[in-house]
Amino acid sequence: MLQVAQLIENYRKDIEAYEAANAQEAEAFRIKYLGSKGIVKAMMGEMKNVENDQKRYFGVVLNEFKKLAEEKYESLKNGLSNVSETSTANMDWSLPGDTLPVGTRHPLSIVRNRIVSIFKQLAFAVAEGPEIEDDWHNFTSLNLPEFHPARDMQDTFYVHKNPDWLLRTHTSSVQARVLEKGKLPVRIICPGRVYRNETISARAHCFFHQVEGLYVDEQVSFADLKQTLYFFVQEMFGKDVTIRFRPSYFPFTEPSAEMDISCTVCGGSGCSLCKHTGWVEILGCGMVHPSMLENFKIDPNKYSGFAFGMGIERICQLKYRINDLRLYSQNDIRFLRQFTSAL
Residue placing its CB nearer to Zn ion in the complex, 179 or 263? 263
Nearest CA-CA partner of 308 in 180, 196, 179, 215 = 215
Shortest reach from residue 270's CB to Zn ion, in Å? 6
Q: How far apart are CA 118 and CA 288, in angstroms?
A: 22
Q: How far apart are CA 137 and CA 61, in angstroms?
A: 89
Residue placing its CB nearer to Zn ion in the complex, 50 or 266? 266
The 301-330 contact track toward Zn ion, x by CB under 5 A, reads ------------------------------
Shortest reach from residue 252's CB to Zn ion, in Å? 31
Residue placing its CB nearer to Zn ion in the complex, 154 or 264? 264
The 257-296 contact track toward Zn ion, x by CB under 5 A, reads ------x-xx----x-xx----------------------
Shortest reach from residue 241's CB to Zn ion, in Å? 12
Nearest CA-CA partner of 176 in 149, 139, 150 = 139
Shortest reach from residue 261's CB to Zn ion, in Å? 11
Shortest reach from residue 338's CB to Zn ion, in Å? 22
Q: How far apart are CA 48 and CA 9, in angstroms?
A: 19
3-state secondary structure 135-151: HHHHCHHHCCCCCCHHH
Q: Restricting to residues 147-176, which ones interact with Zn ion according to CB under 5 A?
A: none
Q: How far apart are CA 264 and CA 238, in angstroms?
A: 9
- Beta strands 165-167 and 158-160, pairing class: antiparallel
Q: How many residues bind Zn ion (CB under 5 A)?
A: 6
Q: How far apart are CA 104 and CA 339, in angstroms?
A: 6
**Which strands make up the sheet holding 132-134, listed edge to edge?**
132-134, 165-167, 158-160
Residue placing its CB nearer to Zn ion in the complex, 206 or 273? 273
Shortest reach from residue 236's CB to Zn ion, in Å? 17
Residue placing its CB nearer to Zn ion in the complex, 276 or 337? 276
Residue placing its CB nearer to Zn ion in the complex, 156 or 317? 317
Contacts with Zn ion by CB under 5 A lie at 263, 265-266, 271, 273-274
